[in-house]
Amino acid sequence: MEILSLQDVSFSSQNTQIVREVNLSIEEGKTTALVGPSGCGKSTLLKLSAGLIIPTGGTVCYRGRDIAGMTRAQNMEFRRESAFVFQDSALWANQSLQQCMELPLRIHFPEMTKEARQRRIDEVVKTVGYKRNLAIRPAVLSMGEQKLIAFGRAMLCKPKLLFLDEWTESLDENAARRLISLVKQLKLENNTIVFVSHNMGIIRDLADNVIVVVEGHVHNKMTHDQIDNDHDELSELLGEGITQDKV
């Protein structure tokens, strides 16, 4: 069953076309990788898919509803059911980590008690392996630690649709393995995951489907079984934009 669809989606900024007439269907319960050389528009396409930016052409639909045309109630439901992990973590610099973690729960579960919020925060912090104080601000953290908090924040509301933009970058090997293991568990629970990665090991390990993006448009689509068969073509297209690292 289709959970997300992009219909003739384009996006331009400052007179530059970044995404060009993309048609894409994301199947519920599957994991889809967006891959391509650096600067090809895949991160922008991910943000368009998540409704974080509005297309300059075409429509993005969640369960058949145009995200840009949703009512406030419909949009709140979509935000509660989905989550996004940004490449740069996107933590609020003027708030403590505790405040960053509390906000999604306050917005989407206003009836939740302070004690219940704290239990949920403590649970996800432990799950992602973050061990420092939550009273500090993001600037004190390394980029890897920020990534752990950003991933934990995305998990707070138990999303059914998860968007990941290079979520293992800046992590040491153990931390990366932990987060990849968590994504595998989400896959087993039939959640829908759309991710951007340059790591062929992660792509092979996680992706049910691969969308190859070149110069802002969908160049090719392949299933997991086709990844190795089309490896030479894939490597040629991606060039230095992808690594063979295994996790």
Residue 7 has pLDDT above 70, yes or no: yes
Both tokens of 75, joined, read: 């949009």
List, for residues 193-214, the tens digit of each pLDDT value: 999 998 888 988 999 999 999 9
Q: What angle do CA 226, 82, 47 make, to 5 degrees?
A: 65
Asked whether residue 247 is assigned to any structural domain, the reply reads: no
Tell me the C-alpha distance between 51 and 61, whole Å: 9
What CATH code is carried by the domain that includes residue 223?
3.40.50.300
Angle between helices 173-188 and 143-155 (to 10 degrees): 10
Asked whether residue 246 is assigned to any structural domain, the reply reads: no
Residue with structure tokens 């896959």?
A: 187
Q: Model confidence at 242, in pLDDT bands (50, 70, 90)?
A: very low
Asked whether residue 177 is assigned to any structural domain, the reply reads: yes
Looking at the chain, the whole-number percentage of residues with pLDDT higher than 90 is: 79
- When divided into structural domains, the chain yields a total of 1
Distances (CA, A) of 239 to 35, 37, 215, 229: 11, 7, 13, 17
Asked whether residue 149 is assigned to any structural domain, the reply reads: yes
Q: Model confidence at 237, in pLDDT bands (50, 70, 90)?
A: low
**55 with 19: CB under 8 angstroms?**
yes
pLDDT (0 to 100) of residue 231: 60
Q: Model confidence at 229, in pLDDT bands (50, 70, 90)?
A: low
Cα end-to-end span (Å), the chain: 30
List, for residues 160-194, the tens digit of each pLDDT value: 999 999 999 889 999 999 999 999 999 999 999 99
| Exposure b/e, 147-169, CB count within 10 A at least 16 = b | bbbbbbbbbbbebbbbbbbbbbe
| Domain, as residue range, for 197 | 2-241
Segment 112-118 shows an average pLDDT of 97
Beta strand 192-196 pairing with 31-35: parallel
Segment 58-84 shows an average pLDDT of 96
Q: Would residue 229 be called left, alpha or beta, if left means φ above 0 and alpha means ψ between -120 and 50 degrees?
A: alpha
Tell me the C-alpha distance between 209 and 12, whole Å: 26
Which strands form 2-13's sheet, in the order they lie side by side? 16-27, 2-13, 57-62, 65-66
pLDDT (0 to 100) of residue 243: 45
